Structures are given as C-alpha cells and as structure tokens.
Amino acid sequence: MVQKSVLKQLAREHGTPLFVVDHQEIRRNYAEFRKRLPRVQAYYAVKANPDPAIVRTLYDAGCSFDVASMPEFLIVHENIRDLPAKARQDFIWDKIIYANPIKANETLEELDAFKPLVTYDNHEEIRKIRKHAPHAGLALRLQVPNTGAMVELSSKFGAASGEAVELIEAAHDAGLVVEGLSFHVGSQTTNFENYVQAIHLAAGVFQEAESRGFELKLLDIGGGFPAPYNSQVEPFKKLARRITAELDRLFPKKIEILAEPGRFLVATAATCVTKVIGKARREGKRCYYLDDGVYHTFSGILFDHCQYRLQAFRKGPTEICSVFGPTCDALDTISLAEELPELRLGDHVFSRNIGAYSHASSTYFNGFPPAKVVHINC
C-alpha cells in the first residue's frame, strides 16, 4: 500500500488528478495467484488496465495475456519487440489468447498471420474464422452461471452446454482445430459456487466430446476472481482451494488450465489522488467538487458497478457529503453519501483499490483530460 505521505508528495510534484500505479503490488498479486493456483497459467485480462508498463511488469513476472481487441493485442506484442522473431511467434501461442468470442472480419484477417488462439460460441463465428483466420486455434466458450457477479456476462456470450459438442463438430468439419473450452463466471464474482458449477459443466462437455472422438487439450476458467474491495469479500485462498479441488478431481494433469485474471491483479495496485476545486451546501448537505470524476478515473462507478471510497488527508469531524466530478453534467456524481471532514479548496483526497476498469475507460468529455499516470516501484 502506497503511504499517504508518498501520495501527498507525488501530488505536489505532478499535480492532480493523479493515478498512481504501484508495480510492487502488481507483482505481489501475481505471485499470490500463482501460489494459490499453481496448476493454472494466468492470462492477464488487458482490458482491466492496458497500460504498457503494467503489461511489461506482468510479462517479466511470467504472465500471459488475454486480449479482446486488436489494439490490446498490439500493446502486448509491441512490448516483446526485444525478442527474436522465432520467440515472438512462440510468444503468440504460449502467451496470448484472443478471448473475445465475436470478432470483426478485419480483425480475424490481421490475427491470422500470428496463428492465434481465439474463442468462439456460435456457427456464424465458425464461418468467419474459416474464411478469415483459418490458421487460428479455437476454444469454445460455454455459457455458465453468473449469479451474484458484479458484472454479468453470460447474457452476451457463451454457448449452451447442450449445443457445445455440436459446435465443436461444426468447427472440425470446417477444417478448424478446437483446442479446448473456456468460460467466464462474471466479473468480481463473490459467489464461489459459480466456479464449481462452471467446472462441472465443462467436465461434462469434455466427456461428451471425447466420446464422439474429439480430443480437447485445454480449459480456460476465465476471470471474475474478486478484488478485496471490502471485508465482505472472502479471501482468494478460499476460492483457490475450491477451484483446485474441482480441477484435480475432474481434469487429468495432461489438460492445460488457463485463467484470465484482470481485476485481481491490478485493482489494489492503483490509487487516485484528486483535488477539491469547489464546495457548496445544498439543502443542508455539504457538497464537494473534485478535478476527477466518472468520465475519468471514477468511470468504474458507471461501467463497472463499483463504488470507490474517498479518504481525506485532512483530519477532523466527519459528515455525510455529496461528491461530484468536474464536468458540467449531473451524471458526473462520484457519491451522494461519502463521509468526509470539512475540506478546504485545494485540499487533496484519495481513493485506493481503483486500478481496474477505471483509468482504462477515461474520456476527454467536456474537454477535461484523464488523470496523469505515475508508475512507482517499477
């Protein structure tokens, strides 16, 4: 955790709004993931935070990558330019999965030269891949329970388990190779039963596929691993024990296991520092206006259904306040119930655990630029 004294010093040096990324925390989170799930190769979900410096830190630590767009693919690829050509080609297969089940034809054509591993979940995608990326390896994405997830995904992606083997056969008939299965239990999943049910569904599909002559080699258990935003989130080691027990019981060691942690690796690794630029009292309630908001670092309030708690450097009696961002839009509301002391214009406040799905979604709405990014402990 970055100390408050360091945050204050960085704010004085760089100004605000400021997005401070602690790479030592990223390395700790990755080490924790590997320790608790030693059988699972982590493919960082780049969309959580695509900063190239984060990608490089994770690559150096041994991480692989889950990308969902061509720009994300290129961010990863550009960070391995120091490798020889042959190693870069091996890197694509061993280190990147293109895990967006729906891809534009143009994207498939760009990807084909790299012979990538891509996901799919329907017949139309098979036809597209056959025509535009025939050298790709495939992973069929299954629809699985997302009960209790902060962000639900199964209404948008995933084939029903009952049609899974039919889709594997269709890909085979199209001359494509299905390497395995993937699923996603929903983002910030605190209901650990989602993983148990999903692993059971995948095991059933593996058995049916094998009975019909199709050999699957890998299982991608997706993301959803929860970040410790509050004390109600159970420890990761508890989830890891459940996952490990089910994998070891249902999947032989020869099956390669992948996962796509994003939030878990970077959420706790960043802190936002922002400044009070206005204050008022409306209907008896104190209101503060900051130089960062929901069109910028706090975008996760809208897009990620996440609430980030604010803390003040100044001490004193607190009261419930409303906190707004800098834009001329009422949607730019950070909180209507934040407990803060009385602050002065120019005072700084900060929000921890804001590294995932936050700065990555920043805009230039109303002409306000995103927060400046500062990397420490690189």
Which SS3 state, helix, strand or coil, does residue 339 take?
Answer: strand
Give CA separation, 38 vs 30, 219, 241, in Å: 11, 15, 11
**Catalytic residue (choose from 272, 306, 321, 328):** 328
Q: Which residues contact 193 (CB under 8 A, 6 or more apart)?
A: 145, 147
The distance of Cα 254 from the centroid of its chain, to the nearest Å, equals: 27
For residue 377, the one-letter residue type is N
Give how far the C-alpha of residue 114 lies from the chain's centroid of Cα atoms, to the nearest Å.
23
**Is 109 strand, coil or helix?**
helix
Contact 156, 119 (CB under 8 A): no
Would residue 272 show up in a list of annotated catalytic residues for this protein?
no
Q: For residue 75, give both structure tokens.
A: 């961010």
**Cα 304 versus chain centre, distance:** 10
How far is 332 from 85, CA to CA, in rounded Å? 47
> Could you tell me which of 38, 182, 210, 48 has the C-alpha nearest to residue 117?
182
* Residue whose C-alpha is closest to residue 359's, from 296, 293, 266: 296
* Bridging pattern class, strands 372-376 and 285-290: unpaired
232: its two tokens: 């109600």
Q: What count of other Cβ atoms lies within 10 Å of the Cβ of residue 9? A: 11
Query: Which three-class secondary structure state does DSSP give residue 286?
Result: strand
- Catalytic residue positions, numbered: 328
